[in-house]
Structure 1
């Protein structure tokens, strides 16, 4: 009843000349479905002059779906000559590909992003179920709404923008998770070394006040313990600062965090306050803990030894500390370095805008 026929020209591809607004060459629709689509799209063309054309073919004949759609569009001059308000929905059955080709005049409305979403949300799910009519019907309805209803178009725009942000946030979450694991390793190493150093510091004071660490040896053990603690702090503090910095960059509010600028803005009293705090935390606090934990079983009286240290106490608490600390330091250092028959086109054209899909 209705047909698509081909003109043959030497040296050129043969693309169909359309005589109906809906041409089902691949027999994807029933006769009633074809008539329903024609009625719908012809009425819309009469009302608005916008031409939404549907073509199904068996094969793209070794063409890309983009080129085939563009050639059909240009050959049939879809849309009105001045308005370029044509749109072609092409479905290739055997190739399992389809495309929405948009004329110049409709490109500001049916953007590539809009066409992609229509393909993804309306057409592809139905095509996968074999319901080609429903997929095309839904797509044409969406296109008509977008052209006719600015409010709906704004809502559609918001949906597309939100979808565009989702992969970005998904990527941020993945990167954040990887950074969390990476930074946690450094913090874990630093915390372990800090704990060992602080525990050793308590034992140094406990040994001093119980006469098990000589007064002569005490300064060396004290410095060794403080160095171990000092070495651990960058592994704890720097990852935390780096994490805060990354969060500031990733934030939509674009938080600018500059630790050096913060340090420059500190008052002069910050230095003595910091020094006093360090003395309290790393000298007074360990000493207090040592006094109250002199023995788990029997209370040990306070006494001092100038030269002699208790070998048993030294062996138990400090014999492997040097090598252990050395190992921790070298190990940590290593970690930081490796890390209708009356239908005809109106003279319109397309610039190749639109979107393609497959099922």
Structure 2
């Protein structure tokens, strides 16, 4: 819990200071932030309670231990200095994939402020979870709850559906 709290504080300071730094400095700070965290849930936008973060972390960690698939959830209030939320998500995914401790099979990025969600997955699970199925899970389970403002329930429902799809038949 202390690690997560430290990571959240560090990322918040990175976001605040990133507006005056160039892209290279921001990328370096971001890499340092994620290098210190191996949690499945990183709530940088602080839209979840500590209990909700813990609950999601517990569920996703247990799933990872049992099935080897790592699902990572990241919330963020901004995508700056990147040009788009999608570009930011892809850059985060590319960075995380370089470290086996952090490498997500499925990355879920959410922003309450920007009203956006992005889900990225590695190619080797496409036979279990293709883009159409991913879009269906997001639109059926996450989006209705996001519209209600219940970010925890949206992430929990979507994560549960992703986990069902990734489990062996």
Shorter-chain TM-score tier: 0.7 to 0.9
Matching residue of 1:40:
59
Q: Larger radius of gyration, structure 1 or 2? A: 1
Q: Residue 92 in 1 paired to residue 116 in 2?
A: no
Q: Residue 110 in 1 paired to residue 137 in 2?
A: no
Secondary structure in 1 matching 2:119: strand
8 A Cα contact 1:100 1:115, kept in partner: yes
- Unpaired runs of at least 5, structure 1: 151-359
Matching residue of 1:50:
69
Secondary structure in 1 matching 2:48: coil
Secondary structure in 2 matching 1:54: strand
- Which of 79, 85, 88 matches 1:65? 85
TM-score (structure 1 length as normaliser): 0.38
Distance (Å, rounded) in 1 between the aligned partners of 2:97 and 2:87: 15
Distance (Å, rounded) in 2 between the aligned partners of 1:65 and 1:42: 26
TM-score (structure 2 length as normaliser): 0.77
The change in CA–CA distance for 1:100 and 1:69 in structure 2 (over 3 A counts) is same
Distance (Å, rounded) in 1 between the aligned partners of 2:87 and 2:69: 22
Q: Residue 127 in 1 paired to residue 146 in 2?
A: yes
Higher relative contact order (CA 8 A, sep 6+): 1
Secondary structure in 2 matching 1:124: helix
> Runs ≥4 in structure 1, deviation > 4 angstroms?
6-11, 78-81
Residue 102 of structure 1 deviates from its aligned partner by 0.6
Secondary structure in 2 matching 1:28: coil
Secondary structure in 1 matching 2:159: helix
Residue 59 of structure 1 deviates from its aligned partner by 1.1
8 A Cα contact 1:60 1:68, kept in partner: yes
Residue 50 of structure 1 deviates from its aligned partner by 0.9
8 A Cα contact 2:145 2:151, kept in partner: yes
Residue 104 of structure 1 deviates from its aligned partner by 2.2
- Unpaired runs of at least 5, structure 2: none
The change in CA–CA distance for 1:144 and 1:97 in structure 2 (over 3 A counts) is same
